[in-house]
Structure 1
Amino acid sequence: MRKLKGIILLLRPKNAILASIGTLVGWFSAGIPIYPVDRLFICLLVPSLILMGGNAINDFFDVEIDRINRPYRPIPSGMVSRSEAAFLYILLSTAGTLLSYFISVAHFMIALFFSVAWYLYGLRLKREGLIGNILVSLGVAFTIIYGGLYSITYRVILYSLIAFLVNLAREITKGVEDIEGDRAAGVKTIAIIKGEETAGRAILTICLLATIVTYIPFIAGLSGLIYLFLSTTAVIFLLRSAILSRNINKQVAGRVSFLIKISMLLGLLAMLIDSVKL
């Protein structure tokens, strides 16, 4: 049971479910028919598999950082070995990439790109700070694009941009929250290179920009009143995060990260409900 618990913690299936929901948002936002259902099912499954594989290889490379920041994580706590994490990465990434071929060549190429990208992220790009933050945020945004790839619409593009910006703000926030372990591992986050104050200004700016973009789908007539109401609840949490980020430090960063995550969940819900409605 301890091993199973460790694997679940390693793969983070909750995040994988959110990736599938993002893909579903893209699918419905593009107005793609749900039939044949098997095509939709594979499209929802692929991002989840590749994300879980990415989580496994990230922890494989992050073991020394996690010993400082999160010693309870599966590998430093001894619940899962590094070799097991590497095996799960290979298994899940390969399965996701191969399955994507049954959707389309374009889906296959995106799946292959991110399968390799998550390995490179853990190996090197995470330590480059902002570059790694951007890659992770692109991965989040591309769950929506992946779902709407058959017919990219303005809604798909805007929803993807919102997801990218909000997640980028959270990634920079996590750089403040994890500053001790990141500094020991030589990670070049904004908080380490430019200081926490600069990181806070970056978070504030991105949150405000994301707030503006959030309302564009409604203003442009692409989304309805349900989206307006639900996205406004998401914006409330996002703006609260922006306010707190003006005086950010390691302790405040944990709260900001949590508030941004709530905003992300509410925003995703707004997109999904409005997309299904339309």
Structure 2
Amino acid sequence: MGHAGFFTIIRPANSFVAGFAAIVAYRIANGTLVYDGILLMAIVTLITAAGNVINDYYDAAIDAINRPGRPIPSGAVSRNAALVYAGLLFFLGILLAGFTSLLCLAIALFNTILLVAYAARLKSTPFFGNVTVSYLAASIFLFGGALAGVNRVPDMLPLVAITFLAMLARELLKDAEDIDGDSAGGADTLPIRIGVRKTALLAFVFAVAAVAASVIPSLWWGAYYLGAIALVDIVIALAAFRALGCTDPGCVKSTGSTSLLKIGMFASLVVFTLSAVLL
């Protein structure tokens, strides 16, 4: 086993983006960037990384079919080492959360429990597992608002809704792509139950809802934000639209919808960042 596997398994790009999103959330809620924002980024990055590792620990058999190149099935990291590694990352994240506020600490603890429960049980629960991971992504904005003060949390709800709905659309399409491996691993996902076509339609509905929710921040960020987010909305809507009509996992993969949705969500974070700083 090499050290590179322990870096890869945390999915550093995803973990860093999650941490960066926390700083953006704090900037939006508080209007400033102080050392608390850096602390917030560290907490979210660590807990997100831990969640990625524990997810790979529980998904080793499924990943051996769907994603054999990942660190555990490829042999770069052993399952036991991954379990210890995840525990260490969770501990460090929660420890740092103890230096913030009581509400932030509560969210960090709750999300840690939810991340473990998701990896161990909830992932194989039709739709509820998708809702769980979508909440976890959206809760980064709650976390940022909570650090700025309880009274700032409601201001973050539109961004929470946008992230939650777009992530839910992507998670459903990812499950549609992974039917073969999930079936072999004993997972019971929504696409397995209702089929790829209906899942793709549901994902499109959530993507459109995310687009609708993205208009709300224009009430305080104005026309410049609306113009920028409209471009992102086109990407998100198009991504989900491309999977409509698919009836098998191969078709969903060939559309590139999940990758396009990921690009759209990253672009929305860029728009949120620029709006928070400039508008």
2: distance between equivalents of 1:72 and 1:163? Answer: 28
RMSD of equivalent CA atoms: 1.4
Pair 41,66 (structure 1): closer, same or farther in 2 beyond 3 Å? same
Amino acid of the residue matched to residue 185 of structure 1? G
Question: Is contact 2:61–2:185 with CA below 8 Å preserved after alignment?
Answer: yes
2:4 is the alignment partner of 1:5: yes
Higher relative contact order (CA 8 A, sep 6+): 1
Q: Structure 2: state its 5+ residue gaps.
A: none
Deviation at 1:186, TM superposition (A): 2.1
Q: Aligned ranges for residues 175-194 of structure 1 at < 5 Å?
A: 175-194=175-194
Deviation at 1:180, TM superposition (A): 0.5
Residue by residue over 1:190-212, the C-alpha shift from the partner in whole angstroms, topping out at 9 and shown as x without a partner, is 11011111101111111111111
Q: Aligned ranges for residues 93-132 of structure 1 at < 5 Å?
A: 93-132=90-129
Question: Is contact 2:142–2:153 with CA below 8 Å preserved after alignment?
Answer: no
Question: Is contact 1:238–1:263 with CA below 8 Å preserved after alignment?
Answer: yes
Deviation at 1:86, TM superposition (A): 0.4
2:259 is the alignment partner of 1:258: yes
Of 180-189 and 72-81, deviating more is 180-189
Give the % identical residues: 32
Number of paired residues?
273
Hey, what does 1:222 align to over in structure 2? 220
Amino acid of the residue matched to residue 210 of structure 1? A
Hey, what does 1:162 align to over in structure 2? 162
Hey, what does 1:247 align to over in structure 2? 245
TM-score, structure 1 as length reference: 0.94
Hey, what does 1:28 align to over in structure 2? 27
Q: Structure 1: state its 5+ residue gaps.
A: none
Deviation at 1:225, TM superposition (A): 3.2
2:33 is the alignment partner of 1:60: no
Amino acid of the residue matched to residue 232 of structure 2? A
1: distance between equivalents of 2:145 and 2:161? Answer: 14
Hey, what does 1:237 align to over in structure 2? 235
2: distance between equivalents of 1:18 and 1:94? Answer: 20
Q: Which runs of 4+ in 1 moved over 4 A?
A: none
Deviation at 1:27, TM superposition (A): 0.8
Hey, what does 1:146 align to over in structure 2? 143
1:83 pairs with one of 68, 80, 85: 80
Hey, what does 1:44 align to over in structure 2? 41
Question: Is contact 1:24–1:272 with CA below 8 Å preserved after alignment?
Answer: no
